[in-house]
């Protein structure tokens, strides 16, 4: 594992790194520019050089960049070639707890016709709130650390 400073691997540089890892094939600056929605190939080239200097990418004999080392990124997990925020997994944990809590309320209601006690809803509320908060924050973080997959809009002729 390379001892990489996580402050250097954030924002656009992290997006570029995640794209190169996800692509799995050698990529050039123009491909990175399109995928990460950067303003020019020179900006993409700068981020690729930065990643090469950090020891994460190598340049092949054709001038394309390939992943040298896939490192762990703070607050994220690699699922195959996808970088996923840990917050999403935390939301799944709370979703499981919520399912158990709802089951504890539903079973007596369905089997015995007992109305659920009010305190059980106080049990469900914080779990639901925690699940929703972790999921929303995780999705926001995922959007920030995921390269744009949409193509640039063509210029309008006037």
pLDDT of 8 reads 66
Q: For residue 150, is it within any domain?
A: no
Distance in angstroms (rounded) separating the CA atoms of residues 31 and 148: 12
Is residue 48 within 8 Å of 57, Cβ to Cβ?
Answer: yes
Residue 92's H or E segment, with its range, is helix 86-112
Confidence of residue 87 (pLDDT cuts 50, 70, 90): very high
Q: For residue 92, is it within any domain?
A: yes
pLDDT of 39 reads 87
Distance in angstroms (rounded) separating the CA atoms of residues 48 and 8: 13
Confidence of residue 136 (pLDDT cuts 50, 70, 90): very high
Contact partners, residue 20, CB within 8 Å, separation at least 6:
27, 32, 48, 51, 57, 65, 66, 67
Question: In the predicted model, is pLDDT for residue 146 greater than 80?
Answer: no
What does the pLDDT average to over 71-87? 86
Q: For residue 120, is it within any domain?
A: yes
Q: For residue 74, is it within any domain?
A: no
Higher pLDDT, 34 or 152: 34
Question: In the predicted model, is pLDDT for residue 124 greater than 60?
Answer: yes
19: closest CA among 84, 81, 88? 81
Distance in angstroms (rounded) separating the CA atoms of residues 145 and 70: 16
Q: For residue 45, is it within any domain?
A: yes
Distance in angstroms (rounded) separating the CA atoms of residues 146 and 19: 8
Residue 112's H or E segment, with its range, is helix 86-112
Count how many domains the chain has: 2
Q: For residue 158, is it within any domain?
A: no
Domain interval for residue 94: 81-144
Question: In the predicted model, is pLDDT for residue 91 greater than 90?
Answer: yes
Confidence of residue 79 (pLDDT cuts 50, 70, 90): confident
Distance in angstroms (rounded) separating the CA atoms of residues 6 and 99: 36
């Amino acid at each position: 594992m390379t001892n990489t400073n996580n402050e250097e691997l954030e924002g656009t540089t992290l997006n570029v790194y995640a794209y190169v890892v996800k692509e799995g094939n050698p990529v050039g600056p123009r491909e990175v520019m399109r995928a990460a929605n950067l303003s020019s190939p020179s900006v993409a080239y700068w981020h690729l050089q930065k990643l090469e200097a950090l020891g994460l990418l190598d340049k092949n004999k054709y001038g394309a960049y390939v992943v040298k080392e896939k490192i762990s990124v703070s607050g994220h997990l690699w699922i195959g070639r996808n970088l996923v925020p840990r917050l999403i997994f935390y939301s799944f944990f709370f979703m499981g707890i919520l399912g158990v809590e709802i089951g504890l309320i539903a079973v007596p209601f369905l089997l015995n016709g007992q109305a659920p006690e009010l305190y059980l809803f106080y049990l469900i509320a914080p779990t639901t709130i925690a699940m929703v908060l972790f999921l929303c924050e995780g999705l926001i973080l995922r959007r920030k650390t995921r390269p744009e997959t949409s193509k640039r809009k063509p210029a309008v002729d006037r």
